[in-house]
């Protein structure tokens, strides 16, 4: 059964860098038809797509975050990662990793999410 699990620090200071990793079990990150995505949700608010990456290295990012986001895939570890630089309080959110079904253009399997807080 496909499962995704986010990991990373829960608290980072303003202007620092967030680094999250998603570990995939029950599927391969090198599947051709799938991308691997990040979605975030600030407390009490809606969902925001952050970015998606294919194992080939092709990436797509939310234009509003593009200057601060880098994603990567490590197929040997079956993991993919998110780096968000120069964080502010506005980046405080639950961060979800998800399998991005490119054919359906939808996120069909999600991790449980990890709460990330920016605070001094």
Minimum gap (Å) between residue 46 Cβ and other proteins? 5
Query: Among all chains, which residue has been given the structure tokens 């990012």?
Result: 61
Which of 55/110 has CB closer to other proteins? 110
Which of 47/89 has CB closer to other proteins? 47
Q: How many CA atoms lie within 13 A of 32 on its CB side?
A: 0
Say how far apart CA 117 and CA 104 lie, in whole Å.
32
Task: Report how far Cα 31 is from the mean position of its chain's Cα atoms.
Answer: 17
Say how far apart CA 49 and CA 63 lie, in whole Å.
10
Say how far apart CA 75 and CA 62 lie, in whole Å.
23
Minimum gap (Å) between residue 3 Cβ and other proteins? 11
93 binds other proteins (CB under 8 A): no
Which window, 11-19, 70-78, 84-92, 104-112, contacts other proteins (CB under 8 A)?
Answer: 104-112
Of 16-55, which residues contact other proteins (CB under 8 A)?
Answer: 37, 39, 46-49, 52
Minimum gap (Å) between residue 65 Cβ and other proteins? 11
Which is nearest to 74 in space by CA: 109, 37, 24?
Answer: 24
Interface ranges with other proteins (CB under 8 A) = 37, 39, 46-49, 52, 60, 62-63, 96, 98, 101, 104-108, 110-113
């Amino acid at each position: 059964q496909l499962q995704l699990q986010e990991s990373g620090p829960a608290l980072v200071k303003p202007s620092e860098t967030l680094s999250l990793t998603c570990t995939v079990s029950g599927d391969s990150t090198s599947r051709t038809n799938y991308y691997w995505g990040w979605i975030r949700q600030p407390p009490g608010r809606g969902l925001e797509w952050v970015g998606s990456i294919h194992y080939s290295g092709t990436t797509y990012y939310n234009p509003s975050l593009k200057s601060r986001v880098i994603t990567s895939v490590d197929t040997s570890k079956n993991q993919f990662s998110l780096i968000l630089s120069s964080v502010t309080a506005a980046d405080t959110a639950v961060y979800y990793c998800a399998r991005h079904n490119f054919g359906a253009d939808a996120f069909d399997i999600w991790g449980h999410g990890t709460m990330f807080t920016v605070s001094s």
